[in-house]
Amino acid sequence: MLQINKEGLQTTVQDIGRRGFQKYGVIVSGVMDPYAHRIANVLVGNSETDSTIEITLVGPQLTFLEDCLFSLTGGDLSPLLNGTPIKMWRPILAKKGCKLTFGKPRSGCRTYLAVAGGISVTEVMDSKSTYLRAGIGGFDGRALKKGDVVKSGEVSKYIRTFKEKLAREATDSSFIQVDWTLMTQAIPIYQSEDSVRVTEGRQAKLFDEKSKDVFYNEAFQISSDSDRMGYRLKGPQLTLKEPKELVSEGVAFGSIQVPPDGQPIILMADRQTTGGYPKIGQIASVDLPKVSQLKPGESIRFEKITLEEAQQAMLNERRLIAQLTKSISLKFKEGI
Amino acid sequence: MEITYSPLGDEAIVIEVGNEISKEATNLVRSITKRIEETLIDSIIEVIPAFTTVTVFYEVTAELQYKDIKKIIEKTLVEMQDFTSLEQRTIEIPVCYGGEHGPDLEFVAKHNQLSVEEVVAIHSSGTYEVNMIGFAPGFPFIEGMSEKIAAPRRTTPRLRIPERTVGIAGIQTGVYPIETPGGWQLIGRTPIDLFLPMEKIPSLLQAGDRIIFKPISEEEYAEWEGTTHAAD
C-alpha cells in the first residue's frame, strides 16, 4: 500500500494494454516502454503482465504505508528513498513509512515502479491500463494525484519469505537494496541521436526517392507536441510522389505516418485504432522502448531492417526475458 | 474482389480487399473478420476491421512468423464459402434535434437553404449503414446521409463536444460516443450510450448495422438519458 503525497507530471497505472477491443474502437493504452515494465515486474516476483506505475519526467512523491518490495526500471529520474539516492533495476525493500521521491531526469523519461503483488485496481475490459480520454481503467480512470492510496495485490509465499529475510537484514535501516542486478546487456542505455530499427511501412512505395533517402539518413527531432498518443517529429520534409487520399485502416504501436505537412508522427501507446495517413515505416517492436524514453528536443535516427530480422530480434528478447526471470527467481529462493 | 496481404510491422498482417469504400468491401471485411475470429483464435491477438482492410495482430513465436500466419490465413479464407448471408441488425437511435443539444442545426439549415424542420425530416428519414467502428470507442463511420443536408466542418474545432452528440461533417453523419474535441456541425444528441465499457461487447454498434435516427422531444430525452438500450 502506498500513498501519493505529490503528483508527478503524469503518473498512471498501466499494464501491457487492453487487447481484443480495438475492433470496437477501444484503444490499447498500456505501458510506453514494455521492456522496462516487464523487467520491473520480474524483479519483484510478479508476472510480466502485472500492472506497474508509469512515471513521466517529473516523478511523484509517495510514502510506503507498509513494508514493500519494489523495483524501479526504465528512465533514470534520480530516485531517492528517504533522501538517499537508490539504485534502479534491482529489488528494494522499503519499510513502512519510507518516502520515495525523484530528482532530475538523468536518462530517459519514463520510470516504471513495480511493487510485489502488482497494483490492485479493477480491470476494465480485461486490463488495468488507464485510458485517460475515456476516463476508464487504472486508478479511477485518471492519473494518480495527491492523497490517493494505491493498494497492491497478494504476494506469493516465496516472495513473502524473501521480504522477511530482507527485513531482518535491514534491522538498523529503513530500507535495503539487494547487491545484485541484471547482466549489463539486459539494462538498456537511453540516448538522443540513437538509431532505431524500422521495417518498411505499408505505403512506403508512395513516397518519392528523396524522401525515402532522407528518412533513413537524417536525424529527426522530437517536438514538444509529443505525448502517450504520438511523437511528432521535426526534420526534412517527406513527400509523396503524387498526392493521394487513403482509406483509413488499422495502425499499430510504432507506426510512422506522414500527414500532408510532411512531418512524421510515430504512433504510441494511446494511439487511435485506425488512421488514414500513409505509413513510411514501422518501428521494430524491440526498439519501441528507445523511442518511448526520448524527451522532446532529443533526436532519433532510423535504420532499415527486414521483417525477418525484426521478428528474430523479438524472439531473442523473449528468450532474454525468460532467462532473466529464471535466474531472478533462483535469487529469490536462495535469499540475499 | 482480389485479396492481398502485407505486413504492418512485426506483429500484424493486413488483409486488403480493395481500395475504395463500398458495400461489397464492408461485407467482405465483415465475413473475413468473422471467419478469422472463429477459426484462428489460438494464433491471433485481435483484429481491426476497417473500410477495405482487416488487420490481424498475431503472437509471434519461433513457429509462427509473417510467412506462416499468411499461409494460415490464406488457407482459412479459401475454405470460406458463403459471405453474403451475414445477418444485419437494425438499431434505432433516438435523437433530440436542435436546441442546446444541437447548436449548429440552424447553420446546417441555412447552409442548405432549408428550414430546421426539413433538415430534421431528411436526417431522420435516411437509411444508414455502419461501415466501420474506429476513431473513438464505439464511434461509427456511417454511410447513407442525403447530400441535401451536407455541411462543411467548422473552421475552428470545438475543444469539447459532449458525449452522445450527433453531428454532420461533409456528407457524413456520426455520433460522438465520448467527450472529444472536434469540428463537426452539431445537430442533436441521443440519450443512449454508444460506448459501454462495462459490457462484454463495449460498442452499441458494429460494422454492417443498419441505423434509424428517430426524433424525440426534450422531455423524452430527459426521461431516457442514463438508461440502457437493447439492440433488436
What's the pLDDT score for residue B226?
67
Per-residue pLDDT, B41: 81
The predicted model gives B106-110 an average pLDDT of 97
Cβ burial of B111 (10 Å; 0-12, 13-18, 19+) is: middle
Sorted by sequence, the CB contacts under 8 Å of residue A48 that are 6+ apart come out as: A16, A38, A41, A42, A321, A325
Residue A242 pLDDT more than 90? yes
pLDDT of residue B232: 36
Predicted confidence at residue B83, as pLDDT, reads 59
Q: Mean of the per-residue pLDDT values for chain A?
A: 95
pLDDT of residue B3: 93
Could you identify the residue written with the cell 519526467?
Answer: A57
* Chain B residue at shortest CA distance from A27: B137
pLDDT of residue A325: 96
Residues of B with Cβ-Cβ distance to A19 under 8 angstroms:
45-46, 57
What would the CATH number be for the domain defined by B4-78?
3.30.1360.40
C-alpha distance from B47 to closest chain A C-alpha (Å): 6
Residues 6+ apart with CB under 8 A from B87: none
Within an 8 Å CB–CB cutoff, is residue B139 touching chain A? Answer: yes
pLDDT at B86 over 80: no
Please state the domain extents for chain A: 2-188+320-334, 194-305
Residue range A290-307: mean pLDDT, rounded: 97
Cell of A264: 512524421
pLDDT in tens, B14-43: 999 998 888 889 889 999 999 999 888 888
Task: Name the grid cell of B94.
Answer: 433516438
pLDDT, residue B229, reads 53
Q: What is the mean pLDDT of residues B81-108?
A: 88
Dist. CA A296–CA A232, nearest whole Å? 9
Q: Per the CB < 8 Å rule, is A250 touching B33?
A: no
At residue B156 the predicted structure's pLDDT band, cuts being 50, 70 and 90, is confident
Distance CA A76, CA A87 (A): 9
Per residue in A3-56, pLDDT (tens digit) is 999 999 999 999 999 999 999 999 999 999 999 999 999 999 999 999 999 999
Superfamily of B90-224 according to CATH = Cyclophilin-like (2.40.100.10)
Whether B231 contacts chain A with CB within 8 A: no
What per-residue confidence (pLDDT) applies to B78? 87
Amino acid symbol at B171: I
pLDDT at A169: 87
pLDDT over threshold 80, residue B230: no
Whether A136 and B197 have beta carbons less than 8 Å apart is answered as: yes
The per-residue pLDDT for B135 is: 83
The confidence band for A171, taking pLDDT boundaries of 50, 70 and 90, is confident
Q: What is the pLDDT of residue A193?
A: 86
Specify the pLDDT at position B228. Answer: 56
- What residue in B sits closest to A279 (Cα-Cα)? B8
Q: Which of B57, B66, B135 has its CB closest to that of A274?
A: B135
CB pairs under 8 A between A and B: 132
**Cβ atoms A138, A13 nearer than 8 A:** yes
Name residues 194-223 of chain B within 8 A of A (Cβ). 195, 197-198, 201-203, 206
- Judged by CB atoms closer than 8 Å, whether chains meet at A134 and B52 is answered as no
Distance of CA A238 to the CA centre of its chain: 29
Give me B161's grid cell: 463536444
**Greater confidence, B82 or A123?**
A123
Return the domain boundaries, chain B.
4-78, 90-224
Q: How sure is the predictor about B231, in pLDDT bands with cuts at 50, 70 and 90?
A: very low
Compute the mean pLDDT over every residue in chain B, rounded to the nearest whole number.
91
Residue B183 banded pLDDT, cuts 50, 70, 90: confident
Judging contacts by C-beta atoms under 8 Å, the chain B residues touching residue A199 are 7, 9-10
d(C-alpha A241, C-alpha A205), whole Å: 9
Q: Do B134 and A19 touch (CB under 8 A)?
A: no
CATH 3.40.50.720 assigned to A194-305: no
Q: Which chain A residue has the Cα nearest residue B53?
A: A249
The answer to whether the Cβ–Cβ distance between A282 and B62 falls below 8 Å is: no
> Is B157 a residue whose pLDDT tops 90?
no
Evaluate whether ipTM surpasses 0.90. Answer: yes
